Amino acid sequence: AQSVAQPEDQVNVAEGNPLTVKCTYSVSGNPYLFWYVQYPNRGLQFLLKYITGDNLVKGSYGFEAEFNKSQTSFHLKKPSALVSDSALYFCAVLASGYSTLTFGKGTMLLVSP
C-alpha cells in the first residue's frame, strides 16, 4: 500500500519569509515522491520529484524539497515566499509496483504581503 499525509490544511507565511509545507509518506519499498501546485480552477502543475540520489531536490519557481528516509518525510521548502506562491500544494507518492499516484489531501499556502 502507499499513502501520503499532509498534516496541515493551511500554512500562512509573510512575503519574504521562508516557507515549509509538510509531507510524510508510507510505502513498501523505495518511494518516488512528487510535489504539485494547483492554482484556482486549474489542473496540477509539476514542481519537483525525488527518485534517487541527492536528498535535496530543486524544482520550479525556487522550490526545493528534502527527502528524509528515516522520518519518511518529503517537506517542500522555499527560502523566500512570494505572494504569487499562494496556491494549493499536493504531495504525491508512487511506489514500486503501482501505476497511479497517491495524493495527499493538499495544503493551502497563503502568503501575505
Residue 30 dihedral angles phi and psi, to the nearest 5°: -80, 135
Cell 531536490 sits at which residue? Answer: 57
- Residue in 57, 95, 104, 111 binding other proteins, rule: CB under 8 A: 104
Q: What is the DSSP annotation of 33-75?
A: EEEEEE-TT--EEEEEEE-SS-SEEE-GGG-EEEEETTTTEEE
Give least dist CB 80 to other proteins, A: 26
Instruction: Check residue 103 for interaction with other proteins (CB under 8 A).
Output: yes
Question: Which cell is 39 given?
Answer: 492554482
Is residue 106 within the footprint of other proteins (CB under 8 A)? yes
Site for other proteins in 25-64 (CB under 8 A): 32, 34, 36, 41-46, 49
Binding site for other proteins (CB under 8 A): 32, 34, 36, 41-46, 49, 88, 90, 94, 99-101, 103-106, 108
